[in-house]
């Protein structure tokens, strides 16, 4: 879902923040989250993701810019208007779950449900817990639950007041890898069913790609790129964006006649002036690896670069190879290949490499 297609529920406009009054840790940051949409704020640790989320929640006073809920300004830096967190109709989930240890699961979930009659409140608690598969744990205390179960209760507690906005800060980081996948999957479904506009903070690109309708990639307090996961992955707008999502291979070359000549064939570089020194980046899975048979013309007439496998790592769904190529007249190339096919070369095997030029990215020397 993109902006314009659905009503923007949460809007941030030109938001900036400094903790010490000198250095801005978030600068001129804007985003919009539509109803039923999941937006992931992604970036390296310390880039300002949690600060954006805390500003949206009202946990930090807004210094610059504006925050809107359904088009209405709820916080404004200049005029120092700020609705307190409890008036913002947001549900919050944090990495450490933040459940009250002395309250049962039911009372934890009931905590944010003021203003309802007792029977209505009990019904809402039961509903919220059933939604996350924890309907049988009403009387349990948090310490008796696994990490995954605590996370589910935290999600139920945040959803019980039926907020129009859900804000989640690294909600899966405290869980071990196997459980994390399951809980992510379940959480995605529950959030989508709730219809809330969701902003989720994560430093993990795979998590962002799995969860998000749109990703906002941040670096040093600024927005670098936003868009649907497949688009940000396939068309990164910068070297930083390209490198954030996966390991990457890197070649250098000079632009001539709208292309860069590389040992893997010419890579289109329209928009670059002749003579520019550029970097060509491509992901390990974009390199085709075939048995070497001496044929130097691969599919679609592409150049095939002979190489030797120097390392093989098996990771279940794929093999990660390192290969060494020694093109005539150029430096040796140490490249990474990710291959999921039946071809499983051993260390020392001679292979041929080819690259679809459309899957390579050209950037300046940086
Ligand atoms: P992220 O969520 O991307 O890891 P944060 O928003 O937590 O980033 O932090 C952004 C920057 O602000 C970091 O340099 C961090 O050290 C700093 N910071 C975060 N919280 C505080 C705080 N309460 N006081 C001072 N500096 C802070």
Q: Does any ligand 1 atom lie closer than 6 A to the CB of residue 44? A: no
Specify the residue with its C-alpha closest to ligand 1, atom 25.
Answer: 19
Both 92 and 129 in a single domain? yes
* Rg, the chain, Cα only: 25
Same domain, 172 and 231: yes
Q: Please identify, among 187, 222, 243, the residue that sits at the C-terminal boundary of a domain.
A: 243
Q: Are residues 213 and 252 in the same domain?
A: no
Ligand 1 pocket: which of 12, 21, 25 to mutate (most atoms within 8 A of CB)? 25
Per-residue pLDDT reduced to its tens digit, 4-31 = 456 899 999 999 999 999 999 999 999 9
- Find out whether the beta carbon of 50 lies less than 6 Å from any atom of ligand 1: yes
| Structural domains in the chain (count) | 2
> Which CATH number do you get for residue 283?
2.40.50.140
Size of the chain, expressed as the number of residues it contains: 366
CATH number of the domain encompassing residue 77: 3.40.50.300
| Ligand 1 atom with minimal separation from the 201 CA | 2
Strand partners, 6: 3
Percent of the chain predicted with pLDDT > 70: 96
Tell me, yes or no, whether 2 lies in a domain.
no
Query: Do 263 and 239 fall within a single domain?
Result: no
Distance 343 CA to ligand 1 centre (A): 46
pLDDT of 159 reads: 95
CA of residue 46 to ligand 1 center, whole Å: 6
Shared domain check, 258 and 205? no
Is 305 within the bounds of a domain? Answer: yes
Q: Which long-range contacts (CB under 8 A, 24 or more apart) does 132-139 make?
A: 132/156, 132/159, 132/186, 132/190, 133/186, 134/105, 137/105, 138/104, 138/105, 138/106, 139/104, 139/105, 139/106
Ligand 1 contact via 46 beta carbon (within 6 Å) = yes
Residues 70 and 195 in one domain: yes
Q: Within this chain, do residues 270 and 148 fall inside the same structural domain, yes or no?
A: no
Rounded to a whole number, what is the distance in angstroms from the first to the last CA of the chain? 33
Report whether residue 48 contacts ligand 1, using a CB cutoff of 6 Å: yes
**Which tens digits make up the pLDDT trace of 208-258?**
999 999 999 999 999 999 999 999 999 999 999 999 999 999 999 999 999
Question: Residue 4's pLDDT is what?
Answer: 47
Contact 202 CB / ligand 1 (< 6 Å): no
pLDDT digits (tens, 9 = 90+) for 40-68: 999 999 999 999 999 999 999 999 999 99
In this predicted structure, what is the pLDDT of residue 158? 96
Q: What 3-state class would DSSP assign to 80?
A: coil
* Residue 1 placed within a domain: no
- What domain range includes position 292? 246-363
Both structure tokens of 79: 């005029």
Residue 96 has pLDDT above 50, yes or no: yes
Residue 241 token pair: 């964006």
Beta carbon of 49 within 6 Å of any ligand 1 atom: yes
CA 54 from centre of chain? 18
Is residue 215 located within the same domain as residue 250?
no
Question: Which residue has a Cα nearest atom 20 of ligand 1?
Answer: 51
At a CB cut-off of 8 Å and minimum separation 6, what does 158 contact? Answer: 91, 92, 93, 112, 166, 168
Q: 162 with 276, same domain?
A: no
Question: 42 and 136 in one domain?
Answer: yes
Domain boundary among 221, 243, 265: 243
Could you say which of 219, 243, 267 is where a domain stops?
243
Is residue 3 assigned to a domain? no
Residue 80 lies in a domain: yes
**Mean pLDDT over all residues of the chain?**
93
**pLDDT tens per residue, range 260-310:** 999 999 999 988 999 999 999 999 999 999 888 756 555 667 889 999 999
Does 167 fall in a domain? yes
Do 166 and 286 lie in a common domain?
Answer: no
87, part of any domain: yes
Q: Are residues 197 and 317 in the same domain?
A: no
């Amino acid at each position: 879902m993109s902006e314009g297609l659905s009503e923007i529920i949460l809007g941030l406009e030109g938001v900036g923040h400094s903790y010490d009054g000198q250095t801005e840790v978030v600068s001129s940051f804007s985003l919009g989250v539509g109803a039923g949409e999941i937006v992931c704020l992604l970036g390296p640790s310390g880039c300002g993701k949690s600060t954006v989320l805390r500003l949206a929640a009202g946990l930090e006073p807004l210094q610059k810019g504006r925050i809107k809920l359904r088009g209405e300004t709820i916080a404004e830096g200049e005029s120092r208007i700020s609705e307190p967190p409890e008036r913002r109709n947001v549900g919050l989930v944090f990495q450490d779950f933040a459940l009250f240890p002395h309250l049962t699961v039911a009372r934890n979930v009931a905590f944010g449900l003021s203003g309802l009659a007792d029977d209505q409140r009990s019904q809402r608690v039961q509903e919220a817990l059933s939604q996350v598969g924890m309907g049988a744990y009403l009387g349990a205390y948090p310490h008796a639950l696994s990490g995954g179960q605590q996370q589910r209760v935290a999600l139920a507690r945040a959803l019980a007041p039926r907020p129009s906005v859900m804000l989640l800060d690294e909600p899966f980081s405290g869980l071990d890898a196997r459980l994390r996948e399951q809980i992510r999957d379940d959480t995605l479904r529950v959030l989508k069913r709730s219809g809330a506009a969701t902003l989720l903070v994560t430093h993990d690109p795979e998590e962002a790609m799995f969860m998000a309708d749109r990703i906002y990639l941040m670096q040093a307090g600024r927005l670098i790129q936003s868009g649907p996961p497949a688009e940000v992955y396939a068309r990164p707008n910068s070297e930083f964006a390209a490198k954030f999502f996966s390991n990457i291979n890197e070649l250098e070359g000079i632009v001539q006649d709208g292309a860069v000549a590389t040992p893997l064939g010419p890579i289109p570089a329209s928009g670059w002036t002749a003579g520019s020194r550029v970097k060509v980046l491509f992901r390990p899975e974009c390199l085709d690896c075939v048995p070497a048979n001496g044929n130097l013309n691969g599919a679609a007439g592409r150049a095939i670069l002979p190489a030797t496998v120097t390392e093989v790592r098996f990771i279940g769904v794929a093999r990660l190879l390192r290969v060494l190529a020694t093109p005539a007249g150029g430096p040796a190339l140490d490249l990474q290949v990710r291959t999921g096919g039946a071809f499983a070369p051993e260390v020392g095997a001679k292979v041929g490499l080819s690259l679809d030029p459309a899957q390579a990215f050209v950037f300046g020397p940086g």
